[in-house]
Structure 1
Amino acid sequence: MSKQPRKQRKALYNAPAHARGKHLSATLSKDLRADLGKRSLPLRSGDKVRVLRGDFKGHEGEVLSVDYTSYKVTIEEVTLSKPDGTAVFLPVDPSNLMIIDADTKDDRRIKNRGDN
Structure 2
Amino acid sequence: MSILKTTKPKLQRISQSSFAMRAKSMTAHLSKDLRDQYGRRSVGLRKGDTVTVTRGDYKGHEGKVSAIMTSEGRITIEGVTMKKMDGTTKPVMISPSKVMVTKLDLSDKDRKRRLEGKKSKVKDEKEKESD
Report the TM-score, using the length of structure 2 for normalisation: 0.78
| Post-superposition CA distance 1:19-53 (Å, at most 9, x none) | 11222100000111111111001111000000001
Gaps of 5+ in 1: none
| Post-superposition CA distance 1:61-93 (Å, at most 9, x none) | 000000010000000011000112111011001
| Equivalence for 2:84 | 82
Gaps of 5+ in 2: 1-6, 119-131
| Equivalence for 1:48 | 50
| Equivalence for 1:58 | 60
Q: Displacement, 1:18?
A: 1.3
Q: Find the aligned partners of 1:41 and 1:108 in 2 and give their Cα distance.
A: 14
Higher helix share: 2
Task: Give aligned-pair identity as a percent.
Answer: 38
| Equivalence for 1:34 | 36
Q: Displacement, 1:106?
A: 2.2
Report the TM-score, using the length of structure 1 for normalisation: 0.87
| Equivalence for 1:22 | 24
Q: Displacement, 1:101?
A: 0.3
Q: Which runs of 4+ in 1 moved over 6 A?
A: none
| Aligned partner of 1:72 among 64, 71, 74 | 74
Counterpart of 1:65, as a letter, is A
How many residue pairs are counted as aligned between the two chains? 110
